[in-house]
Structure 1
Amino acid sequence: MSVVRSLVLFLLAALAEIGGAWLVWQGWRESRGLWWVAAGVIALGCYGFVATFQPDPNFGRILAAYGGVFVAGSLAWGVVVDGFRPDRWDVAGALICLVGVAVIMYAPRG
């Protein structure tokens, strides 16, 4: 159950961080206004709290593994929200990152 919980938390963290960064981008770079920027800052703050609910107590391990989730999630966000078309190297890189997440977080430790 803790693996499922951890994966759900990684997904929530990705939504908060990538969504927050996208909102800031839209507000500032696409001139949608400071309300978008403010919403992005709030979402980014939520990301910081979501990570604290991970079952593993090691900050470095959580953030290192989350880096792989961020890479894959960013590409997925681009596909869904911005119409980005990743090439095979983007997909290969994301898969490599997700394998890294699995090794870092879920490998048996003795």
Structure 2
Amino acid sequence: MTVVRSIVLFVIAALAEIGGAWLVWQGWREDRGLLWIAAGVLALGAYGFVATYQPDPHFGRILAAYGGVFVAGSLAWGVVVDKFQPGKWDYIGAGICLLGVAVIMYAPR
């Protein structure tokens, strides 16, 4: 159950961080305005709190593992939201990153 909880928290964190960055991007680069930017800043702040709920007590381990989730999540966001088409190497790279997440977070200690 702890692994499932951790994975769910990683997904929520990814949605908050990637979504927050996307909102800032839309507000600034696409001229959608300050409300988009403010919403992005709030979402990015929420990401910081979500990470604190991970069951592992080590900040560095969680942030390192989250890096892999961020890579894969960013590509997925691009596919769903921006209609980006990743190539074979994008998928392979994301898979390697997720394998790294599994080793860092869930390997026996």
Q: TM-score range by the shorter chain?
A: over 0.9
Distance in 1, matches of 2:34 and 2:83, equals 24
Letter matched to residue 89 of structure 2: W
C-alpha RMSD of the superposition: 0.2
Deviation track 1:68-90 (CA, whole Å, cap 9, x = no partner) reads 00000000000000000000000
SS in 2 for 1:3: helix
Structure 1 runs of 4+ aligned residues shifted over 4 Å read none
2:55 matches 1:55: yes
Unaligned runs of 5+ in 1: none
Letter matched to residue 67 of structure 1: G
Where does 1:28-107 land on structure 2 (aligned, <5 Å)?
28-107=28-107
Give the percent of matched residue pairs that are identical in Structure 1 and Structure 2.
83
Distance in 1, matches of 2:78 and 2:11, equals 15
Distance in 1, matches of 2:79 and 2:49, equals 26
Distance in 1, matches of 2:40 and 2:14, equals 13
Deviation track 1:33-59 (CA, whole Å, cap 9, x = no partner) reads 000000000000000000000000000
Letter matched to residue 78 of structure 1: G
Unaligned runs of 5+ in 2: none
Shift of 1:95: 0.2
Distance in 2, matches of 1:83 and 1:59, equals 33
Residue 11 of structure 2 corresponds to 11
Letter matched to residue 42 of structure 1: L
Shift of 1:93: 0.3
Distance in 2, matches of 1:67 and 1:21, equals 15
